[in-house]
Amino acid sequence: MSNKILEVRGLSRIHGKGCPLCTQHTGPEFDTNICPFCGSVVAAHDINFDLYRGEILGIIGESGSGKSSTVKMLYFDDAPTSGQATFFDGAEQHDLFSLNAAQQRSMRNKRFGMVYQNPHLGLNFQISAGGNIAERLLMSDLKHYAEIRRRAGELLSRTEVSLARIDQNPKTFSGGMQQRVQIAKALATRPPLLFLDEVTTGLDLSVQAAILDLILEIQNELDTAMIVVTHDLGVIRLLAGRTLVMKHGRVIESGLTDQILEDPQHAYTQRLVASAL
């Protein structure tokens, strides 16, 4: 049996009205993602990849290359212009973009997790850290208060947030702690697929390192498949077994991370690797 968890084919997102020439006159060879004829933005075009159970796939590229757009579509934060994504969940198989709104919500709440760069997107700052995790646990059919609190505490401990802070509001937490609570919340439903979008950007180096270690531990422990979006080669190097390199909405290079780092084929990737040396 294949361990494939996600299959993405021809995924594209154009912002604007679009025209028949958009995709032919944008991309790395034109050095732009803006269509010269209609002004639409080709945020992502013809993205193809497979993801396997427990695997970490990195998506790297400069700002505006289409990394977040790709993940946003898969997490239903944005709708694709075209393309397909199939999620393999045990014996079940779901065509993600054919699901109705309620089915997409259920998929997001129960089978997927997301950790954003900006904790305001992932956390509710009106309620406590424990409350944030409880919100998600309630969606996973856990209804008993004591059980929810116990599990929320367990998740906070696992992500190394002091239990003493379970009733405190995450707005009083440091950036690194907020990311830990986001990770705890995302993991509450034990999702087989986790999206991480620039989760360590803006944090101190030592805090970054600790969060990256935590992500690796979780992947090992829970066999969670992850898609990690970053502009930081160090993050890719540490976390991702395979990597897609994006530029102007296109995947320009893909393969084993070690291979890409050791022998980058595309001039852009060569510059990216050289600048990180």
Ligand X SMILES: Nc1ncnc2c1ncn2[C@@H]1O[C@H](COP(=O)(O)OP(=O)(O)OP(=O)(O)O)[C@@H](O)[C@H]1O
Which residues contact residue 7 at a Cβ distance below 8 angstroms, ignoring those fewer than 6 apart? 50, 51, 84, 85, 86, 88
34 with 218: CB under 8 angstroms?
no
Question: CA 22, CA 13: separation in Å to the nearest integer?
Answer: 11
236 with 230: CB under 8 angstroms?
yes
Pairing of strands 225-230, 193-197: parallel
- Integer angstrom CA distances of residue 216 from 34, 88, 151, 247: 37, 23, 21, 27
181 with 159: CB under 8 angstroms?
yes
Binds ligand X by CB under 6 A, chosen from 5, 22, 43, 218: 43
Segment contacting ligand X by CB under 6 A, of 57-65, 81-89, 101-109, 120-128: 57-65
Q: Is position 28 an interface residue for ligand X (rule: CB under 6 A)? A: no
Q: Is position 64 an interface residue for ligand X (rule: CB under 6 A)? A: yes
Segment contacting ligand X by CB under 6 A, of 47-55, 59-67, 156-164, 254-262: 59-67
CB of 45 to ligand X, least distance (A): 11
Q: Which is nearer to ligand X, 43 or 51 (CB)?
A: 43
Residues 203-262 interacting with ligand X (rule: CB under 6 A): 231
CB of 116 to ligand X, least distance (A): 11
> Using CB atoms within 10 A of its CB, is residue 92 exposed (0-12), middle (13-18) or buried (19+)?
exposed
Segment contacting ligand X by CB under 6 A, of 2-10, 56-64, 81-89, 131-139: 56-64
* DSSP states of 187-217: HTT--SEEEEESTTTTS-HHHHHHHHHHHHH
Q: Which is nearer to ligand X, 65 or 81 (CB)?
A: 65
- Integer angstrom CA distances of residue 168 from 30, 163, 177: 51, 10, 12
CB of 194 to ligand X, least distance (A): 17
CB of 19 to ligand X, least distance (A): 15
Q: Is position 15 an interface residue for ligand X (rule: CB under 6 A)? A: yes
Q: Which is nearer to ligand X, 215 or 229 (CB)?
A: 229
CB of 84 to ligand X, least distance (A): 19
Q: Which is nearer to ligand X, 63 or 275 (CB)?
A: 63
CB of 73 to ligand X, least distance (A): 10
Q: ∠ CA(182), CA(185), CA(187), 5° rounding?
A: 110
Residues near ligand X, by CB under 6 A: 15, 33, 41, 43, 61, 63-69, 231
